[in-house]
Amino acid sequence: MRIVILLSAILAALFCQPALAQEAIAQPAWQVFVSRDADATGQDRLVFLNLVTGEETTALATGERYTIVDGAVLFYAPDEARIKLAQPNGLVSDHPFIQPQANTRRIDWLLSPDGKKIAWTLTAGNTNALSTVTMTANVDGSETRQALVDGPRDGIRATPVTFSVDGGALVMDYQPDSIGELTPFRQYAGLFAVDLTTGNSAMLPDEPGCFCGGGVGGGKFLRLALTNDLRGYDLHTYDLPDGPRSVVPALNLVGFTQAGDVLVSPDGADAVYALAQVSDFGTPAMSVRTVFVLVDLATRTQTALTQPITTFVRPVAWTDYNSAILLTSPTVDGTWKINLSDGNLVRVAGATYVGIIH
């Protein structure tokens, strides 16, 4: 079944700037969406929408963590234990150089902000002795190198978080191997940076902290921290690489005890994060009520951007000159948008937005 989407509405909702929308129309490009469990066998349907002709092509996949990489969609196929690439022409094949090894129990990856580099981690061992090998390369496979060997550690694995703007360093986290998968929003235990030239690593300022949310962007490092009375989260901010700490006082919402998914605006002026009230944590009956919090990093204030919502969505990108946020859900299909001007959550697409292939 074709996914009918108004092209003009999608461009208005999903491109960061009008100039980018015009550029995308002028050049061959595809917008990519995924619909989960799209056929009777439970496969997902990847939809490639040609922004020049309006034509659609599709590819079926049984996968997770769909990511735009170098003209294709990269994903992990758990049934095959392989990393796959899906092309706009519908062809699905093995990735040429990123693959788990015989002893790999988990593989994670991360694309640089400019889309030119990729990092991936291979975690091996048992729960009490986890070892992680981190590799980096250009997306075409050139300059492949080993960036870090870590472990063995008890219940902890190293995982990539973000590249530095210049691509010379990789920010990583010492992530709890089991608890991290149960939390509704992304949280970090101990963030550190690896110099990709020297191989040296160092903890980010004041790390490790609590198992709380954090974010890096716009030249800043942001870290949520529980207040002393456990009623909220202060936001600690640092200018990278080693600027002084400042603290944005907590927003006190009774009963909202989980926080994470910090997303810093590209210009470093604002940030948004999810503050949630969670019931039946870690069970199939888990329910989440979420308030998205807007942080003005210049005035050092936190304000509730939305009323509590029950749609389980997570912020994935800033858009519209940093005046709005795109969100997707890990549990249901769809793409949503919140404008900072009114705080309303609006569904802008019926399928889940993956990204744009140029």
Q: Are strands 201-203 and 214-217 parallel, antiparallel or unpaired?
A: unpaired
* Co-location of 139 and 55 in the same domain: no
Q: Decide if 255 is inside a domain.
A: yes
Q: Decide if 346 is inside a domain.
A: no
Q: How confident is the model at residue 242 (pLDDT cuts 50, 70, 90)?
A: confident
* Co-location of 229 and 267 in the same domain: yes
Q: How many residues are given for the chain?
A: 358
Q: Decide if 347 is inside a domain.
A: no
* Co-location of 91 and 38 in the same domain: yes
Q: Decide if 284 is inside a domain.
A: yes
* Co-location of 71 and 12 in the same domain: yes
Q: Decide if 296 is inside a domain.
A: yes
DSSP H or E segment with residue 317: strand 314-319
SS3 call for 242: coil
Q: What is the pLDDT of residues 177-210, one digit of tens each?
A: 877 666 778 889 999 999 999 999 999 988 998 8
Q: Which residues contact 253 (CB under 8 A, 6 or more apart)?
A: 232, 275, 291, 304
CA distance 143 to 334: 37
* Co-location of 15 and 90 in the same domain: yes
Would you state the pLDDT for residue 330? 84
Number of domains in the chain: 3
Q: Which residues contact 78 (CB under 8 A, 6 or more apart)?
A: 62, 63, 64
Domain-terminating residue out of 211, 230, 250 = 211
Of 95, 82, 179, 92, residue with least CA distance to 140: 95
* Co-location of 117 and 202 in the same domain: yes
| First-to-final CA distance of the chain | 25
CB 92 within 8 A of CB 48: no
SS3 call for 7: helix
Domain-terminating residue out of 211, 226, 242 = 211
Q: What is the pLDDT of residues 46-82, one digit of tens each?
A: 999 988 888 899 999 999 999 999 999 999 999 999 9
Domain-terminating residue out of 211, 243, 259 = 211
The amino acid sitting at 110 is: L
* Co-location of 207 and 112 in the same domain: yes
CA distance 51 to 30: 6
Would you state the pLDDT for residue 276? 85
pTM over 0.85: no
Q: Decide if 67 is inside a domain.
A: yes
DSSP H or E segment with residue 181: helix 179-182
- CA-based torsion, 224, 227, 230, 232: positive or negative: negative
* Co-location of 136 and 196 in the same domain: yes
DSSP H or E segment with residue 179: helix 179-182
* Co-location of 268 and 228 in the same domain: yes
Q: What is the pLDDT of residues 273-286, one digit of tens each?
A: 998 887 776 677 77
* Co-location of 119 and 142 in the same domain: yes
**Long-range own/partner contacts, residues 272-275 (CB < 8 A, 24 or more apart):** 272/305, 272/315, 272/325, 273/185, 273/213, 273/215, 273/224, 273/235, 273/315, 274/184, 274/185, 274/213, 274/314, 274/315, 275/233, 275/251
Average confidence (pLDDT) over 321-342: 91
* Co-location of 9 and 57 in the same domain: yes
Residue 43 DSSP code: -
Q: Decide if 252 is inside a domain.
A: yes
What DSSP line would sit under 13-29, residue for residue?
Answer: HH-SSHHHHHHHHHS--
CA distance 210 to 146: 29
* Co-location of 143 and 198 in the same domain: yes
The label of the residue with tokens 């060997």 reads 149
Q: Decide if 340 is inside a domain.
A: no
% pLDDT > 90, the chain: 56
The amino acid sitting at 193 is: A
Strand-pairing partners, residue 135, are 120, 146
**What does the angle CA 117 – CA 141 – CA 148 come to, to the nearest 5 degrees?**
65
Q: Is the previous residue joined to 284 through a cis bond, with omega within 30 degrees of 0?
A: no
Residue 225: give the domain boundaries. Answer: 213-310
Q: What is the pLDDT of residues 292-305, one digit of tens each?
A: 999 999 999 999 99
Q: What is the pLDDT of residues 2-39, one digit of tens each?
A: 343 333 333 333 333 333 333 334 456 899 999 988 77
CA distance 184 to 177: 15
CA distance 83 to 155: 24
